[in-house]
């Protein structure tokens, strides 16, 4: 684990930078806005044979998020830091956090932010494989996602809703389905969700009001498009889950988890397994 300070892209020409607190490796300043307010973004990336999978897609999402939150980012520096952290990782996970750094007046950000880039690695969580193969049982979370179009799609550091969803969900469900207050299906607590309907149409919820726009979600959409199976992105009602042929969760670490059982109904897992295998074949997910 190591830390790095990314100079503001906008201010690369500044000859004098304010001195920043030096903090030891593996820690952040208690006055970092990421800690104080969750004022930052992060990416969680699978690493295989020293290679962070789908790194460009992750960095693009991070940069898009920075644009929306007005946090400067030096993408080249971020890429180098991630690659350096993965040098001796055969199988693992790398997390990249980019916060707005320190300063400002309370919630008001400083005019010239000096963002803080934190890159850390951890071992691969082996508990995923069985879920990929056998599929999981899941249910609806009783925590409903709030609607905030300004933050929708972003993988930002304000994740209390997801924490509450996991806190309140049965241990027997490795993932839960989250809706908004109108009971429209949005995503899992740490993943996106897809439905295969009886006509063979692939559907995933619209994320313009809430949810995280996942890198594997995007990759699945692209793969399906390549195979002339366009994915319909739209609002999804809870009742549609029960009438689907297959349901599955996706994210960068789990790849695809088929949903085998939901509200007493048993679902097929064939399409989901095929999709996971395709993602493995293009090295989009871990082949563990």
Distance set, CA 187 to CA 63, 150, 235 (Å):
22, 18, 11
Do 207 and 184 meet the contact criterion of CB atoms below 8 Å apart? no
Contact track, a copy of itself, 110-139, x by CB under 8 A? --------x-x----x--------------
| Binds a copy of itself by CB under 8 A, chosen from 67, 70, 90, 263 | 70
Site for a copy of itself in 140-159 (CB under 8 A): 143-144, 146-148, 150-151, 156-159
- 8 Å CB contact between 33 and 115: no
**Per rule CB under 8 A, is residue 34 in the interface with a copy of itself?**
yes
Provide, rounded to whole angstroms, the least separation between the CB of residue 36 and a copy of itself: 7
Name the residue with tokens 């319909």.
232
Q: Is 211 in the site for a copy of itself (CB under 8 A)?
A: no
**Residue 182 touches a copy of itself, criterion: CB under 8 A:** no
The span from the first CA to the last CA of the chain, in angstroms, equals: 23
Q: Smallest distance from the beta carbon of 165 to a copy of itself, in angstroms? A: 7
Q: What's the min distance (Å) between Cβ of 18 and a copy of itself?
A: 17
- The bridge status of strand 40-48 relative to strand 91-99 is antiparallel
Q: Please say which residue, 19 or 24, places its beta carbon nearer to a copy of itself.
A: 24
Judge contact between 112 and 210, C-beta under 8 A: no
Name the minimum Å distance from CB 45 to a copy of itself.
Answer: 14
Distances (CA, A) of 253 to 75, 90, 93, 184: 22, 15, 8, 25
Distance CA 130, CA 54 (A): 23
Interaction between residue 59 and a copy of itself (CB under 8 A): no
Q: Quote the least distance from Cβ 144 to a copy of itself, whole Å.
A: 8
Q: Which stretch binds a copy of itself (CB under 8 A): 12-20, 34-42, 130-138, 264-272?
A: 34-42
Phi, psi of 278 (to 5 degrees): -60, -40
Backbone φ and ψ for 79, nearest 5 degrees, come out as -60, -45
Residues that bind a copy of itself (CB under 8 A): 1, 3, 21, 23-24, 26-39, 42, 69-70, 97, 100, 104-109, 118, 120, 125, 143-144, 146-148, 150-151, 156-167, 181, 189-190
């Amino acid at each position: 684990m190591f830390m790095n300070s990314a100079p503001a892209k906008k201010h690369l020409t500044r000859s004098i930078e304010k001195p920043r607190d030096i903090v030891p490796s593996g820690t952040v300043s208690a006055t970092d806005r990421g800690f104080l307010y969750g004022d930052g973004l992060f990416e969680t990336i699978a690493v295989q044979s020293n290679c962070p999978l789908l790194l460009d897609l992750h960095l693009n999402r991070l940069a898009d998020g920075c644009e929306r939150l007005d946090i400067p980012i030096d993408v080249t520096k971020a890429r180098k830091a991630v690659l350096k952290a993965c040098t001796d990782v055969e199988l693992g996970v790398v997390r990249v956090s980019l916060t707005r750094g320190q300063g400002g007046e309370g919630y008001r950000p400083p005019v010239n932010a000096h963002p803080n880039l934190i890159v850390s690695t951890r071992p691969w969580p082996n508990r995923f494989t069985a879920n990929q193969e056998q599929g999981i049982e899941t249910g609806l979370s009783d925590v409903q996602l709030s609607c905030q179009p300004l933050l929708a799609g972003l993988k930002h550091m304000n994740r209390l809703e997801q924490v509450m969803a996991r806190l309140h969900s049965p241990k027997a469900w490795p993932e839960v389905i989250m809706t908004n207050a109108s009971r429209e299906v949005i995503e899992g607590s740490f993943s996106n969700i897809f439905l295969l309907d009886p006509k063979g149409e692939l559907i995933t919820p619209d994320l313009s009001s809430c949810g995280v726009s996942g890198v594997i979600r995007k990759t699945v959409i692209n793969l399906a498009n390549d195979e002339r199976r366009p994915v319909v992105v739209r609002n999804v009602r809870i009742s549609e889950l029960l009438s689907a042929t297959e349901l599955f969760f996706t994210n960068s670490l789990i790849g695809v988890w088929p949903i085998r059982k939901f509200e007493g109904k048993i679902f097929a897992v064939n399409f989901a397994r095929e999709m996971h295998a395709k993602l493995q074949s293009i090295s989009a997910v871990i082949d563990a």
